[in-house]
Chains A and B, each alone.
Chain A
Amino acid sequence: EDKVVQSPLSLVVHEGDTVTLNCSYEVTNFRSLLWYKQEKKAPTFLFMLTSSGIEKKSGRLSSILDKKELFSILNITATQTGDSAIYLCAVKYNNNDMRFGAGTRLTVKP
């Protein structure tokens, strides 16, 4: 059965800490992996990864994909309270299939 598993489910850190969020997957005909940030409103797009070993970076956020071990990590350095959100991982596979993980709820305390 196709699945996307995120860990941890929740995480509490203090401002300035570095966090690593994990997303592992088991799907047929993998196409891409996407990371979204979901605050109170709609998920907003962060990264799309299709190739192994190539780091995508945006400010304090970075992400990398390992297609051999079937996982991706999302790193956030020097966390701020504004980073508090649910981080969703989604995998596109086959022609049009897309599956989201349950998300990691990150809380950054001042």
Chain B
Amino acid sequence: EAGVAQSPRYKIIEKRQSVAFWCNPISGHATLYWYQQILGQGPKLLIQFQNNGVVDDSQLPKDRFSAERLKGVDSTLKIQPAKLEDSAVYLCASSFQYQETQYFGPGTRLLVL
């Protein structure tokens, strides 16, 4: 079974630039999550999708972060403009609907200079 795919794996940008991350969940998983994991901390949920609808985006900094899952499968997370404090690993996870266990992708490590 193929796992959660993410790209790119690494990204270095300067502050005020824009960046986008892509996630392809496990086939059949209706629920998709984006997390931000800052060095030394646990993952923090940014947004949760159920199919193509947003379930929870209460911790998403909406002035600069946006995410979409238009067809209910792949998802993109965008940061525009980036700040130094956005440097982190961005993890995508997916699960079957109503299932507790989430399966994580390898993450995208973002460095903002």
| In the complex, chain B residues 43-58 whose Cβ is within 8 Å of any chain A Cβ | 43-45, 48, 55-56
Residue total for B at the interface (Cβ-Cβ under 8 A): 20
In the complex, A21 has a CB within 8 A of chain B:
no
In the complex, A58 has a CB within 8 A of chain B:
no
Q: Once the chains bind, are B105 and A100 in contact (CB under 8 Å)?
A: no
Q: Once the chains bind, are B56 and A97 in contact (CB under 8 Å)?
A: yes
A3 CB, min distance to chain B CBs, angstroms: 11
Q: Once the chains bind, are A90 and B42 in contact (CB under 8 Å)?
A: yes
In the complex, A12 has a CB within 8 A of chain B:
no
| In the complex, chain A residues 19-43 whose Cβ is within 8 Å of any chain B Cβ | 31-32, 34, 36, 41-43
Q: Once the chains bind, are B43 and A34 in contact (CB under 8 Å)?
A: no
Q: How far is the CA of A90 from the CA of B33 in the complex (A)?
A: 14
Question: Which of A4, A43, A99 is the one whose CB lies under 8 Å from B104?
Answer: A43
Q: Which residues of B contact A42 (CB under 8 A)?
A: 3-4, 91, 104-107
B interface, by DSSP: helix, strand, loop or mixed? loop
Chain A: which residue is nearest B103 at the CB level? Answer: A45
Q: How far is the CA of A36 from the CA of B83 in the complex (A)?
A: 29
Q: Once the chains bind, are A45 and B101 in contact (CB under 8 Å)?
A: yes
Chain A: which residue is nearest B4 at the CB level? Answer: A42
Q: Once the chains bind, are B56 and A34 in contact (CB under 8 Å)?
A: no
In the complex, A61 has a CB within 8 A of chain B:
no
Evaluate whether A44 and B43 lie within 8 angstroms (CB atoms) in the complex, with A96-B48, A96-B56 already known.
no
- The 5 A-B residue pairs whose C-beta atoms are closest, nearest first, are A100-B42, A42-B104, A41-B106, A43-B104, A100-B43
Interface set of B (CB-CB < 8 Å, partner A):
3-4, 40-45, 48, 55-56, 91, 100-107
5 A-B pairs whose Cβ atoms sit less than 8 Å apart in the complex: A31-B100, A42-B4, A44-B104, A96-B55, A97-B56
